[in-house]
Amino acid sequence: MAEDGVRLDLALLRAFPSSTRAFVRDAIERGYVSVVNERRGLDMPVEAKGSKLRAGSRIRVRELLEKSDNLVLAEKLPSNAPFPVPVCFQDDSLLAFDKPAGMPVQPLSCRESGTLMNLVCARFPECASVGDEPLMAGALHRIDAGTSGLVIVARNTGAFSEMRRQFSEQTVRKTYLALVEGSVAVGGTLENDLVHDPTVPYCRMIDASDRRALSVEAGRACRRKAMHAVTKYSPIAHATAGCEERTLLEVTIFTGVTHQIRSQLANAGMHIVNDRLYGAFAVENQVGHCLHALSAAFRHPSSGVPTEIRTQEPPWARI
């Protein structure tokens, strides 16, 4: 029985404390929650989480996920089929994959499939319970869906904790390949603070000193979220596509800021080919942009031995 004027989502959380606000919102949006008003005898589906209940109402819940349900959904794979993503390293502690461009690393909800971690949990189920973010399932870092290349996954809690320490202390050296528009003659280092662009509804990173980040409305919130990023780059090959020059860069980072390489290179006038979010020209029929996580160097979490894991170069890098 509901109290008069109580918000629907708050009433559900009180009744089901093992659920979450996100799951309550999802259940309401999917039509799994209805409200029965005993005085009117109506069973009405609700659409807004902030709907106010009236005295004498009853809530009917057809399905509501709980915190324990917040796990990666294992993709269905034939037991005798090869793993659909190249495995470039495997031992008792770690797995490493060469993710194709266009595939997200992790799902955004436990209902989502089609990501790398959905596949990993199907073939390597021990990863599902590793780490402190259930939907990462042991993945130690992310790369953008449009970026191809190396993703490292821990197979047990000990390996996860040790590798997370190395990532936090910025002792993991990550090397990328980036194909950029134009001719780049010499290398250099890009170092600045990045923030989310407050003028767009989606994720795009800009320099913290940009006027958009320093606007009166957005400046305070953005400055608190500024993240320091350091990117080193070096030209290793040049090519032409039609009448356009392109340069293949080797890029090294120790920090792991969202869109770090894409944003910093674009800010410096070196747009990654087909990275339209950061101002590059569109390339017809190309999936993703020309950025590839080539390798990572670290100390093995079990043996402490210096280790480097490498992926294959993508076709666009063979110039």
227-278 pLDDT per residue, tens: 999 999 999 999 998 889 999 999 999 999 999 999 999 999 999 999 999 9
Report the residue count for the chain.
319
Asked whether residue 120 falls in the same domain as residue 245, the answer is no
* Predicted local confidence at residue 314, as pLDDT: 97
Q: φ, ψ for residue 79 (rounded to 5)?
A: -65, -30
Asked whether residue 149 falls in the same domain as residue 197, the answer is no
3 state DSSP class of 180 = strand
Asked whether residue 22 falls in the same domain as residue 49, the answer is yes
Asked whether residue 313 falls in the same domain as residue 186, the answer is yes
What's the CA angle centered on 122, arms 121 and 128, to 5 degrees?
20
DSSP state, residue 7: B
- Note the pTM of the prediction, 2 decimals: 0.84
Asked whether residue 149 falls in the same domain as residue 131, the answer is yes
* Predicted local confidence at residue 201, as pLDDT: 86
Task: Determine, yes or no, domain membership for 75.
Answer: no
Domain total in the chain:
3
Asked whether residue 103 falls in the same domain as residue 195, the answer is no
Task: Tell me which residues of the chain have a pLDDT lower than 50.
Answer: 1, 41, 216-219, 221-222
Domain that holds residue 33: 8-68
- Residue 133 sits in a domain whose CATH number is 3.30.2350.10
Which class for 185: exposed (0-12), middle (13-18), buried (19 or more C-beta within 10 A)?
exposed
